[in-house]
Structure 1
């Protein structure tokens, strides 16, 4: 805004000063475009547009310093305090609406039954007992019945005298042939042995499960003239026996005329002895191999010793 050069009053739009009446001289603008001329002030230049156009002018930046930093976080503190106040009022409205006890919160039902509580206390495994000698006694493993025939001794009612074999060797018919595991050897006695009894002595108390025998002289051989000699059909065969154990158990067993072991189940009976009674015996054979002897080639005892 221009002022009067005479009185200093602010000039108006008229040609003279409103205070002293002195005419206002118009400025000389003839050379304002030259580099040496003094440029007149531009009046009422519109300000540069702001973005957005409808926003107020941004406040002046806060000068740095302690007061400026305090004005930066004070609005945040005020906002947080307002939020705390609103939350406190809401909690008061919810909790102060009734004097009754609050209902327990509903528990969601599980589709699966809950597992029973388990104890977290450590469990101590059972310790094996220690024998006086320092060895640990462990529970024995279950055993299967086994063939104990080799430890059996046999007492027989009679024994036939020895004879001479085809090769000229001596052949004996002792009781030991009953438990040697060789079917070509035999025990035999003269004549019909029906009613006789053999006693099998076990090595100790044994839980017997099966008993059996080969019921004749199972040997077969070729003679000097090329013929086959069959001692099974030549001697008498045992056709029925009865096994008797220490507890009085008696098991009758019929037998077929075959050269293999024929066995019978007796359950599980603990015994020290087994008596073998000859119930029925066949007639003697005929021909060159025919002999009047009652013969048994093998015995079989299966069980658990001890």
Structure 2
């Protein structure tokens, strides 16, 4: 009989490996690697891989379209502020023409040398016309005249034409009614607050005035303190006359 078989797993000494064995092992390894590559290609890789740029672009939401900024409304040109002009104080004025007067008596009307009817009413003292007058019969010494203003007024000056400032031509003669009638020589002006101002008058047909401390009043009481005697000649008349009164001030606003 021949020699015994070697134990399992042991080659008998002197026995060599077949020449095709290494090639078979290499071919098997290549097949294994190729199979693994196919698997990775199909599954897309593991969770740890970074997404590709294509995937990132496709998965990002569409950007919000940028809206155009609204056109700003034009800024209105500011209206320049006009500073109000300072209120100027009212200029003093003669308020006698808007006043009324209460007198102690009035002489009856008469006709002048030309035959015209002439009246001697109280309003003649307040018309600003020196050739008209108020007059009363006889001596007016001690009598009072009350003047009512049309509004409270701050007076600063008062005065009068203290006789009948008129002349008439009769033939070749001039009749001087200022000298012929009685004239006021001294008068007192009294105002609502009791202030009293005394005024003396000269022999003049012109308006004679006196300044007073500013006093606000609605009435003026004029007292005839002293009156002259009537004149002489054809122009002589026993009447007390006043041609005009003047009351200068600023009406209260």
Q: CA deviation at 1:244?
A: 0.2
Uncovered stretches (5+) of structure 1, i.e. residues with no partner: 1-125, 129-136
Is residue 222 of structure 1 aligned with residue 173 of structure 2?
Answer: no
TM-score, normalised relative to structure 2: 0.65
- Shift >3 Å, 4+ stretches: none
Task: Show the counterpart of 2:122.
Answer: 175
For residues 197 and 208 of structure 2, the distance between their equivalents in structure 1, rounded to whole angstroms, comes to 14
Q: CA deviation at 1:150?
A: 1.3
For residues 166 and 140 of structure 2, the distance between their equivalents in structure 1, rounded to whole angstroms, comes to 19
Uncovered stretches (5+) of structure 2, i.e. residues with no partner: 1-80
Structure 1, residues 24-69: CA drift from partner, whole Å, max 9, x if none? xxxxxxxxxxxxxxxxxxxxxxxxxxxxxxxxxxxxxxxxxxxxxx
Which structure's relative contact order is higher, taking Cα pairs within 8 Å and 6+ residues apart?
2
Task: Show the counterpart of 2:93.
Answer: 146
For residues 138 and 157 of structure 1, the distance between their equivalents in structure 2, rounded to whole angstroms, comes to 48
Task: Show the counterpart of 1:212.
Answer: 159
* Cα RMSD for the two superposed structures: 1.6
For residues 172 and 149 of structure 1, the distance between their equivalents in structure 2, rounded to whole angstroms, comes to 19
Matched residue of 1:243: which SS? strand
Matched residue of 1:144: which SS? coil
Task: Show the counterpart of 1:157.
Answer: 104
Matched residue of 2:179: which SS? helix
TM-score, normalised relative to structure 1: 0.54
Task: Show the counterpart of 1:198.
Answer: 145
Q: CA deviation at 1:299?
A: 0.3
Q: CA deviation at 1:142?
A: 1.9
Structure 1, residues 92-139: CA drift from partner, whole Å, max 9, x if none? xxxxxxxxxxxxxxxxxxxxxxxxxxxxxxxxxx999xxxxxxxx975
Q: CA deviation at 1:144?
A: 2.2
State which of 273, 276, 281 in structure 1 corresponds to 2:222: 276
For residues 229 and 100 of structure 2, the distance between their equivalents in structure 1, rounded to whole angstroms, comes to 28
Matched pairs, number: 172
Is residue 303 of structure 1 aligned with residue 249 of structure 2?
Answer: yes
